Structure 1
């Protein structure tokens, strides 16, 4: 944007003498000169001609500026004119002014004063100017119709909302809920259905609570008396395969920590205790009584040794079993060679030659948490006789050099007795492992 300073040159603009103020005629409506919101600009003289290339520049004499004497002391300055002064009168005839170059306006320039003078119509709303001036200025696009309501185009109506069905109550922010029509109460069928539903829920809840209570009762640890009573009935409540498994794996129970495997080759029918012990051992166990005797015979993996395992169900109570265990441990009844159990020699098996003379090692266990006496006796499967049998607890000691110790017959008797005693305890639900005296 150019300003007046670009054209204020002393060489081109003659001096402007001051003019006296002129008051407007009060009877005449003031024009733009009298409007305080309108600024009147002065004309700017045309630019001098541009000399042709190579032509000498023409000298334009510049007249001297008139000197204005300073105002006297106390004198009032001349009043400021209401408008800009007009073009000055030339002091001397000047050369004819050439026409302005193409592309430049001959009137007002793009000055700040020009924009200030025309800013009113630039910032005013066209509709307001049209209303104030009374002219029919068309409205701006998007401003909407301004004519009367009858002349406006009809607006499409809003889509009608479907009325809810009868018995449906519309809600805000929630799904519609059904309600009965006014004046109607639930019928007896509905009341009966609700009553059945409530009763069914109550029965299901009671059954669940009863099941939960029964599970809690089952999960509670059984008392010693209950376990002892249950152990008296395991012989006819438990399958034989659980009390005498078909295959028993003894991990690290053989000589030197070797693994042992025993296979069941015969199961004796349950019977009484007569003929199952030597006479002195039978007399020692008579005080406890005999309800039933269960027996089974095993062979090791090499079929070189055979072992008979038995379980006697006694008739005494828990204090009687503790007293019997104490008597065996204090009097060493389990280590005497004249108190041995007898083997079960099943015909047609590797143990058919297993008799009294073939007994090499044995052990007797008095269980105190259940009324059971467990024993085991081992020997050679080829029917060889053993002159001096050895208790299993002595044959398994490190450094033992006897025939039962070196052949592993002591380990066979002890390992199978431990396993069968554990199976009887599990069947009775015994929570702990009781330590008994053994021979």
Structure 2
């Protein structure tokens, strides 16, 4: 029997032992009744049932045959999902499932690999899969590490990258669901969180951001809102930040897809003005930040959470501001005359900053009223001091830059003026929050 690692990437010029019946058999298995040739196809002689036929197709030396067979499996699984069939996937026996998992570990053709990973994504929701890398079974952590490496090294192929990260995310959710308190011992979960966050950045293709949105939606109940903090505070907050980034993405489909996280939030955590049904992105963003603040209270992490939100308030665009200021200073004032189109680019960031400040202010107000005064810990004091120094420097440089602008900068240097005002506002509001934390 051919081992998956030895399968060639292209059709061999030599006569195939499968002969011309291979495409016909694949067509027949996929449900094309006009081609009955599959009945005579065999891997070793004699008629084969359809399950054995599928196994033969998955081991075909031609990658086109393997890909076509996998497309048929995926299409049938998706149809069953849409029809919400409760009988399970009885047409896939254990041997076929083993062939699929083995193919996922050893397939070298990118398109075939993406297809089999997509198949396993669907199967993993209802079927217990056994993963064998050869003689021995892979542990959960070994499997996660393998799939994470595959996702990280496949960014050249959007289809493969999305399929790999979707599958590993399904497995992470299953792992956390089965053992929420022990999941923190799995070291690679932080690596998974970082990879998901990297898929939410603005420069990513829309397909990748849509995949990341679905991943975050699917892990809302298990990871993002878990009372056990299975991934730890830092990684969990980073995932929330990535979700909020997607809710503000320029692509409407990405924003709408990210909104669905509301549907997976436990009802006990939702405020009375949010029903749990799908909402528009601005409402989802507001509700999401409010929910995160309630989670900080539930986790007993209000000071740490407030500091995290303060970092968001300050923003991470310092390098961009300096580059823009340098570029602006090199141009004549006439180049900016009546330039107002870019001003709208800063409307949403201003709303985001105000939303953040409103929620963190409410969080700290409730915390001060419900808790006896406590002396901040040494780490917290150090972080407050660091952020205060950064905010003061940002406020001072922003004010100096505003003072250096020519008269009526809102007309002659509209975009630069708007940027500096936002930068100053970020620093001022952050300093106000930090004063409350002292």
Q: What is the TM-score of this pair, normalised by structure 2?
A: 0.18
Instruction: From the two aligned structures, give the one with the greater strand fraction.
Output: 1
Between the two structures, name the one with larger relative contact order (CA 8 Å, sep ≥ 6).
1
Instruction: From the two aligned structures, give the one with the greater helix fraction.
Output: 2
Q: What is the TM-score of this pair, normalised by structure 1?
A: 0.18
